[in-house]
């Protein structure tokens, strides 16, 4: 007999952040994320999303 997992809710991941217009730091992180994705480095993509969100929280 199998049991259904309890206490877990699955949801869509949050949308990826985008660069703020005119911010070179945002643009740099977005380009680095695109490069990571093109290499198949999805861990790097995730790390860059975190860095971009942190940057936007602190700088904008």
**CA–CA distance, 49 with 26 (Å, rounded to integer):** 10
> What tens digit of pLDDT does each residue of 11-54 get?
898 899 999 999 999 999 999 999 999 999 999 999 999 999 99
Output the pLDDT for position 17. 97
- Indicate the pLDDT class of residue 58, thresholds 50, 70 and 90: very high
CA distance 59 to 39: 29
Q: What is the pTM of this model?
A: 0.80
**pLDDT for res 34:** 98
| CA atoms within a 13 Å half-sphere pointing along the CA-CB vector of 41 | 12
């Amino acid at each position: 007999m199998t049991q259904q997992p309890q206490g877990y809710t699955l949801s869509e991941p949050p949308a990826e952040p985008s660069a703020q217009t005119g911010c070179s730091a945002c643009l740099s992180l977005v380009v680095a994320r695109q490069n990571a994705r093109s290499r198949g480095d999805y861990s790097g993509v995730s790390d860059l999303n975190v860095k971009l969100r942190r940057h936007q929280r602190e700088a904008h």
